Structure 1
Amino acid sequence: MAKVTISEDDFQKFQEYFYRKTGIQFDTAKRYFVDKRLVERIEANDCDDFRSYFTMLRFQASGAELQALVNLMTINETYFFREEYQFDCLVNSILPELVARKKDRAPIRIWVLPSSSGEEAYSIAMCLLERWPGIVQWDVEIISSDIDTRILAQARAGCYSERSIKHVPRAYLQRHFRTTADGYQLSDDLRCAVEFTRVNLMDAADVRPYRNFDVVFCRNLLIYFDDLSRKQAAETFYDALVPGGFICLGHSESMSRISSLYKIRKFPEAIVYQKPRETP
């Protein structure tokens, strides 16, 4: 079988298709990255060329190949306690404000995406256990979502390298991890504290069930979207949040440049964004 090549026209067709499906747009600077992974999947499916593979990809009823491609194309770069000041903000400012106005005893619901390999959601769970006195009185649900099924399986397993845990306080490491042959594994209790789900943020049917969240963490995802996809994501989060709910973005992201739906909240620890509360 001759070596498969990806032409400029092939790249553009794939670029447009992948953007429509995921909201992620690869520019020409990512050609080598995209081409390499496309060729890998073309060969894995015994297709003769890009054209036959692309036809299969678009019309496959199960969507299994698209998912396999998504798993290859998405970038999962994270570690425990990344941008920790936002976790301090959650514990010291956001949660006290939320519980002060909660009229019922419904659980506090937190949505984290992208999940990647789980470090962010598990960091939140650890912060609540270690730093928030309210955890004794309040039930908390943490749901962490990603489009990549392979990385979600890793997150559920809770196994991490030395690099991933480099910012975990020593006391937390002793209490919540056990050493393994390859690194560390999170305790069963903490792994059970987070529910991991597969979600495509650009798919209306996927996100429709996600409602009534008090806090959303969506950090360093929107930088991979264009303006239109960012606006769509902002509207999705708006629908997912309760009135008065909060969203935390990455340090280089600004909701003010994306959508006028939210108001800026400047807490001592961090700037976050809030869905306005309904008028009484």
Structure 2
Amino acid sequence: MTTPAPLTAGWSRPGRDLSYTPEDFQRIARFMYDATGIRLTEANERMVYARLAGRVHDLGLDGFSTYVDRATSSLAGEERDRLISSLTTNTTHFYRESYHFDYLAGQIIPDFITRARAGERIRIWSAGCSTGEEAYSIAICLLQHFPEAPQHDLKILATDIDRAVLARAVTALYPPGSLRGVPKALIDSCFDPVPGGDLRTPRPQIKAMVTFRPLNLIGHWPFSGRFDAIFCRNVAIYMDGPTQERIWTGFHQVLRPGGHLFIGHSERLSPSLKGRFTMVGNTIHRRNGDPARGR
């Protein structure tokens, strides 16, 4: 997330006659924290203006105060979702932090293969999946090393609070920038070209492995079973300490003993979780406990 200089009271973008005060920003910041757990500071004031001013103008409103009233009301619905979408960060690409996928392929998938062939259920969660590159990267990695995966009870759940990026993930049309660093041979074998341009889309068997759903990480998690691996990378970095601890603790509760948690390169688990996880790689943590006893 960008960190520009703070605004002065009543600052307004040149060429726009829109009222925007520190009080307007504080109302937006409180809403985002309560709704998503994302913490905005005064350093984000210009970013908030830049991302929302066009919408305020398009609605024919004279200032942010009226817009905040409308977007955060109990009847806002779509406008509330639009506000959240505008202020969440969705930077990603295929095989981002590639060492995580190296570990998945070398250290985790062999166990998945053994367990899946024995009839066990395997579940992976891509939490904060953005436009889908992470979830599809997991699916590609699984198919590369376990081609028969679709024949077993092995599924990937991908969730995000931003419904706009989820729609793009389901559509799954990716420009060359999303595939930077992916070997050409892998692109050719796992992606179909989209007629009329340079976009690519994952092949049907890859898409079929992933289910996309909206989910707020600070809300209720409607899960009936545990996960074998969770990827939540560069999401908690935008949250304060107590919110991060709440999310890490939640992941511990829904991971099976021996399951793995992958977090972002700048993120760290809360000290209170010491003893519940063992670090086994670069920002890769294994949940402690006895897998055989399930606790």
TM-score between the two structures when normalised by the length of structure 1:
0.88
Paired with 2:114 and 2:208, the residues of 1 have a C-alpha distance of: 27
2:30 is paired with a residue whose SS is: helix
Q: Which amino acid aligns with 1:275?
A: R
User: How far off its partner does 1:137 sit?
Assistant: 7.4
Q: Which amino acid aligns with 2:162?
A: D
Question: Which residue does 1:96 correspond to in 2?
Answer: 110
Percent sequence identity is 32
1:274 is paired with a residue whose SS is: strand
Of 189, 196, 208 in structure 2, the residue corresponding to residue 192 of structure 1 is 208
Of 164, 177, 184 in structure 2, the residue corresponding to residue 170 of structure 1 is 184
Paired with 2:111 and 2:276, the residues of 1 have a C-alpha distance of: 17
User: 2:71·2:83 contact (CA, 8 Å) conserved in 1?
Assistant: no
Question: Which residue does 2:9 correspond to in 1?
Answer: none
Residues 119-139 of structure 1: CA deviation (Å, up to 9, x unaligned): 111111111111247738743
User: How far off its partner does 1:110 sit?
Assistant: 0.3
User: Residue 227 in 1 paired to residue 260 in 2?
Assistant: no
Distance 1:13 1:255, change over 3 A: same
User: How far off its partner does 1:106 sit?
Assistant: 3.0
1:144 is paired with a residue whose SS is: strand
Q: Which amino acid aligns with 1:110?
A: I
User: How far off its partner does 1:229 sit?
Assistant: 1.1
Distance 1:91 1:137, change over 3 A: farther
Q: Which amino acid aligns with 2:145?
A: R
User: How far off its partner does 1:76 sit?
Assistant: 1.1
User: 1:113·1:144 contact (CA, 8 Å) conserved in 2?
Assistant: yes
Paired with 1:3 and 1:115, the residues of 2 have a C-alpha distance of: 37
Paired with 2:122 and 2:286, the residues of 1 have a C-alpha distance of: 16
User: How far off its partner does 1:252 sit?
Assistant: 1.9
Q: Which amino acid aligns with 2:289?
A: R
Of 11, 19, 25 in structure 1, the residue corresponding to residue 33 of structure 2 is 19
User: 1:25·1:224 contact (CA, 8 Å) conserved in 2?
Assistant: yes
Residues 50-87 of structure 1: CA deviation (Å, up to 9, x unaligned): 33322223323352211111111111111111111111
Of 218, 230, 233 in structure 2, the residue corresponding to residue 202 of structure 1 is 218
User: Residue 81 in 1 paired to residue 95 in 2?
Assistant: yes
Runs of 4+, deviation exceeding 4 Å: 97-104
User: 1:210·1:240 contact (CA, 8 Å) conserved in 2?
Assistant: no
Question: Which residue does 1:239 correspond to in 2?
Answer: 253
2:178 is paired with a residue whose SS is: coil
Of 134, 140, 144 in structure 2, the residue corresponding to residue 120 of structure 1 is 134
1:80 is paired with a residue whose SS is: coil
Q: Which amino acid aligns with 2:268?
A: S
Paired with 1:258 and 1:20, the residues of 2 have a C-alpha distance of: 23
User: 2:245·2:269 contact (CA, 8 Å) conserved in 1?
Assistant: no
Paired with 1:266 and 1:199, the residues of 2 have a C-alpha distance of: 28
TM-score between the two structures when normalised by the length of structure 2:
0.83
- Of 69-78 and 207-216, deviating more is 207-216
User: Residue 5 in 1 paired to residue 13 in 2?
Assistant: no
Paired with 1:234 and 1:54, the residues of 2 have a C-alpha distance of: 31
User: 1:161·1:183 contact (CA, 8 Å) conserved in 2?
Assistant: yes
* Larger relative contact order, structure 1 or 2 (CA cutoff 8 Å, min sep 6): 1
Long gaps (5+) in structure 1 = none
Residues 131-170 of structure 1: CA deviation (Å, up to 9, x unaligned): 2477387432011111111111111111111111122222
Long gaps (5+) in structure 2 = 1-15
Distance 1:163 1:210, change over 3 A: farther
- Of 118-127 and 239-248, deviating more is 239-248
Of 224, 227, 230 in structure 2, the residue corresponding to residue 216 of structure 1 is 230
